[in-house]
Amino acid sequence: MDVSTGSLIALLLASVRAAAWLVVCPPFNSRIVPAPVKALLALAISLPLVPRLDDQVPALEVGSLLVAAVEQVVVGVALGFITAVFFAAIQAAGDLIDTFGGFSMSFALDPMSTSQSSVFGRFYNLIAVTLLFATDGHQMVLRGFLESYRTLPLDGALSLSRLGTVLSHGLPEMFVAALQIAGPLIAVLFLTDVAFGLLNRVAPALNAFALGFPAKILITLVLGGSAIAVLPDALEGLMERAVRAVLSVAGG
């Protein structure tokens, strides 16, 4: 095979950006996806783009190539982190339900993220990943990343000011989305606390707050489906905003 040096350098730099993105961006950043598979995915993503990236290769010098590789790592991590911020709203919604429903005391190690997360947080995260693949939402996320090679070429530079602006708006949107997903159930649990507080004032001998813990857990389990029902629409909206944010940072 007669392959030019420029094509090999373009494939290398494009694969570096894709690999850095896969390490950070959900759902590909999960530990259930082995590192060799992520490396092969990075090559599979980059290989079809090589003919279009030939003219974006920097000068064939060691210093220039090292700087370009570091820049691609920064670009890939930044674009993946933007998507992860919006996707984290699902996990945050589950964590809010755990906090108000009393499940936060049963923290356990999550083998997918190697961190401690609560019951509904893990449950909602798994449902979100399943919905993302079932509705082909991962293809929309991948397409948004592929557009970054057109709007932000290999010899281009990432705008840190634009990245800061997107993140400053994305974090509040993530918390608002989490409240919208878990809001109805949180309101019910809050009213339950109020009701048991009033009952405790009327009849202190009943020790209403001791009865409140199992009651809140029962209410959370019974009404948990109300929050799950809004996950498909919420996930679709979050992924659309994530793709738009990625394109805006990449200059699209």
Residue 252's pLDDT is 59
Strand partners of residue 96 = none
Tokens of 152: 């932000």
Those residues with Cβ within 8 angstroms of residue 11's Cβ, 6 or more apart along the chain or in another chain: 43, 46, 47, 50
Residue 35's pLDDT is 85
H or E stretch including 117? strand 115-117
From the list 169, 156, 137, the residue with the least C-alpha distance to 17 is 156
φ and ψ of 116, to 5 deg: -90, 125
Residue 104's pLDDT is 64
Tokens of 177: 């989305």
Residue 117's pLDDT is 56
Residue 64's pLDDT is 77
Residue 208's pLDDT is 67
pTM greater than the 0.85 cutoff: no
Residue 72's pLDDT is 86
Cα dist. 154→63, 75, 86, 143, 244 in Å?
15, 10, 26, 17, 20
Q: Number of C-alpha atoms within 13 angstroms, CB side, residue 160?
A: 2
Question: What tens digit of pLDDT does each residue of 216-249 get?
Answer: 777 877 777 776 777 788 888 888 888 888 878 7
- Domains of the chain by residue range: 5-249
Ranges of residues in the chain whose predicted pLDDT is under 50: none
Residue 2's pLDDT is 63
